[in-house]
Amino acid sequence: MRSWLGALLAALVVTSACAAPERTVVAQAARPERTVVAQAARPERTVVAQAARPERTVVVVLFDGFAPAELDAARPTPNFDRMKREGAWSRHLVPAFPTISLINHTTYETGCWPAHHGIMSNYFYDPVRGAFDEHNPTVGDADWHTGCEAMWEAAERQGVKTAVLNWVGRWSTTRGQLSTFANANVPWAMRESDDAIVSKAVKMLHDTSANHPRLIALYFDIPDHVAHEDGVAGPRTGEAVRRTDRIVGKLMAAIRSMPKGREGTLVVGTDHGMMDIGPLINVGRLMNLYGIKGREASDGASTIFYLDKGESADRVQKALSAYSQYFTVYKRGHYPSFVHWGDGPRAGDLLLIAKPPYWVVGGGQMPAWAHWLGVTHFWPVVFTPPVGGIKATHGYDPAVVQMHGIFYAWGAGVAPGREIKRLDMVDIHPTVMSLLGLQPGRPVDGKPLSLSP
């Protein structure tokens, strides 16, 4: 029995000795296999992450005086329709007061209220610089700004090249050209045509050099200047709107065909809306009738009074209150909350705001024939011009819904079919900067919209 037990023990020892190396071999072989797989996976994840981040360019367009009602009356507009389906849109881009051009061009580009950027209207007075007049070439000079950075200034400061074409504020008398690419600051009648501006933008979108801009800002004066004369739903206004649609189509096509590794976003907005109007308020006649000592700056639906020393703001306000069916007059320090002007000298001493459908014309805006006929001395305070009038205008309280404008965003970083119920003009700048992955200008009053999918 001992011999059998000894044999059995010997067999067990041999078997154990043989099994242990087999387990060791298997374990050693398995470790290198797992290591090889892990090393191969890391580069694959890195390559995918890099490929998912194409360089983004944002094209920002400002069409002047573009109310939703003008778009409604101008069908077909297939490119705006496509932007609406494939991007974000709103019928309620709310402008700064007064709802006219130059104050809102500046608000659009800076994201600041006029209290911070300093442009009060198309006409105002500054005690140092003098008269700001929309017909003077110097109104495009960024040195009129009292603060805030335009989107192109903020982008350039952060190392991003920009191009600005036909937009106010692209040049400064003291600082020169404020963007890498900017067309010449010439009198408006000598400006480059819309077609030339679009062609330059398309070329920049396809530029493969290291110097290409990633922010391209374009300004077009349609449909505003046509709608003033033809009305919101006039046939010439409709054709101007269809021209804007064709411009949008060319820019969308250029963005879709950008070089490999790049993507684009198109942002389209306006400075204010437009509405059909009735009789005018003869501000020059009011000045003469009540012996108001001072100056006035009128445009659209508002007048700023700058009174001479010794003239009583209370007296003038009381005299003009007799016309409350046509307009309301506010004294400095009591301006409505929607007037974001601050308390600087450009804000004047009194503010007149017309009630629709009335509009204002100052004595300085009257044509020569009107002065020969004594319009500011003998004609009524309120009348309908027999000749030389306009059919539509803007400038009213921002709560007047016809003053709201269009807004569209399409392309990279924008979710499709998203309606934005309301946005303020100050929100455009921070939204554009967010799309570029940049910080907004310093300071900024607006907030970026949430547009991403």
- Tell me the pLDDT tens digit for each residue of 196-224: 999 999 999 999 999 999 999 999 999 99
Q: What average pLDDT is seen over the chain?
A: 90
**pLDDT for position 41:** 46
Q: Are 218 and 105 in contact (CB under 8 A)?
A: no
Task: Measure CA 345 to chain center.
Answer: 26
Residue 149: strand, helix, or coil: coil
Percentage of the residues of the chain whose pLDDT score is greater than 70: 89
**Does residue 65 or residue 33 have the better pLDDT?**
65
**pLDDT for position 369:** 85
Judge if pTM exceeds 0.85.
Answer: yes
Nearest to 214 by CA among 438, 452, 449: 438
Identity of residue 127: P
Q: CA-CA distance, 226 to 242, in Å (whole number)?
A: 13
Residue 37 predicted with pLDDT over 60: no
What are the phi and psi torsion angles at 424 (to 5°)? -95, 155
The mean pLDDT of 419-435, rounded to a whole number, is 98
The predicted-structure confidence for 167-177, as pLDDT tens digits, reads as follows 999 999 999 99
Tell the CATH topology of 55-276+398-435.
Alkaline Phosphatase, subunit A (3.40.720)
The predicted-structure confidence for 251-267, as pLDDT tens digits, reads as follows 999 999 999 999 999 99
Q: CA-CA distance, 172 to 23, in Å (whole number)?
A: 81
Q: CA-CA distance, 160 to 215, in Å (whole number)?
A: 8
**pLDDT for position 366:** 87
Residue 374 predicted with pLDDT over 50: yes
Residue 2 predicted with pLDDT over 70: no
Q: CA-CA distance, 353 to 396, in Å (whole number)?
A: 7
Q: Which two tokens stand for residue 363?
A: 């004595």
**Model confidence at 39, in pLDDT bands (50, 70, 90)?**
very low
The predicted-structure confidence for 394-408, as pLDDT tens digits, reads as follows 999 999 999 999 999
The predicted-structure confidence for 282-303, as pLDDT tens digits, reads as follows 999 999 999 999 999 999 999 9
The mean pLDDT of 57-76, rounded to a whole number, is 97
The predicted-structure confidence for 79-138, as pLDDT tens digits, reads as follows 999 999 999 999 999 999 999 999 999 999 999 999 999 999 999 999 999 999 988 888
Residue 24 predicted with pLDDT over 60: no
Residue 418 predicted with pLDDT over 50: yes
**pLDDT for position 82:** 98
**pLDDT for position 51:** 57
**Does residue 236 or residue 366 have the better pLDDT?**
236
Q: Are 239 and 221 in contact (CB under 8 A)?
A: no
**Model confidence at 148, in pLDDT bands (50, 70, 90)?**
very high
Residue 255: strand, helix, or coil: helix
**pLDDT for position 281:** 98
Identity of residue 12: L
**Does residue 189 or residue 325 have the better pLDDT?**
325
**Look-up of token digits 């009038």:** 389
Q: CA-CA distance, 336 to 315, in Å (whole number)?
A: 20
**Does residue 344 or residue 190 have the better pLDDT?**
344
Q: Which two tokens stand for residue 361?
A: 């014309």
- Look at strands 302-307 and 215-223 and give their pairing: unpaired
Q: CA-CA distance, 112 to 430, in Å (whole number)?
A: 10
What are the phi and psi torsion angles at 247 (to 5°)? -60, -45
The predicted-structure confidence for 360-373, as pLDDT tens digits, reads as follows 999 988 888 888 99
Q: Give residue limits of the domains in the chain.
A: 55-276+398-435, 280-389
**Does residue 452 or residue 18 have the better pLDDT?**
452
Measured CA distances, 131 to 120, 167, 239 (Å): 12, 21, 35
Alpha helices in 355-411 (DSSP H): 368-372, 375-378
Sheet holding 327-331, edge to edge: 294-299, 302-307, 350-354, 327-331
**pLDDT for position 25:** 34
Nearest to 360 by CA among 330, 338, 393, 388: 393
Q: Work out the end-to-end distance of the chain between its first and last CA atoms, rounded to an integer number of angstroms.
A: 84
Q: Which two tokens stand for residue 374?
A: 């004594």
Residue 38 predicted with pLDDT over 60: no
Q: Which two tokens stand for residue 427?
A: 């929100």
Q: CA-CA distance, 245 to 81, in Å (whole number)?
A: 9
**Model confidence at 441, in pLDDT bands (50, 70, 90)?**
very high
Residue 166 predicted with pLDDT over 60: yes
Q: Are 280 and 358 in contact (CB under 8 A)?
A: yes
Q: CA-CA distance, 303 to 296, in Å (whole number)?
A: 6
How many other β-carbons are positioned within 10 Å of the β-carbon of residue 353?
21
The mean pLDDT of 351-355, rounded to a whole number, is 98
**pLDDT for position 367:** 84
**pLDDT for position 97:** 98
Residue 10 predicted with pLDDT over 50: no
Residue 164 predicted with pLDDT over 50: yes
**pLDDT for position 368:** 85
**pLDDT for position 229:** 95
Q: CA-CA distance, 358 to 374, in Å (whole number)?
A: 21
Q: Tell me: domain 280-389, CATH 3.10.180.10, correct?
A: no
Q: Which two tokens stand for residue 216?
A: 């391209």
Q: What is the DSSP letter of 99?
A: -
The mean pLDDT of 428-437, rounded to a whole number, is 98
The mean pLDDT of 50-77, rounded to a whole number, is 92
**pLDDT for position 15:** 36
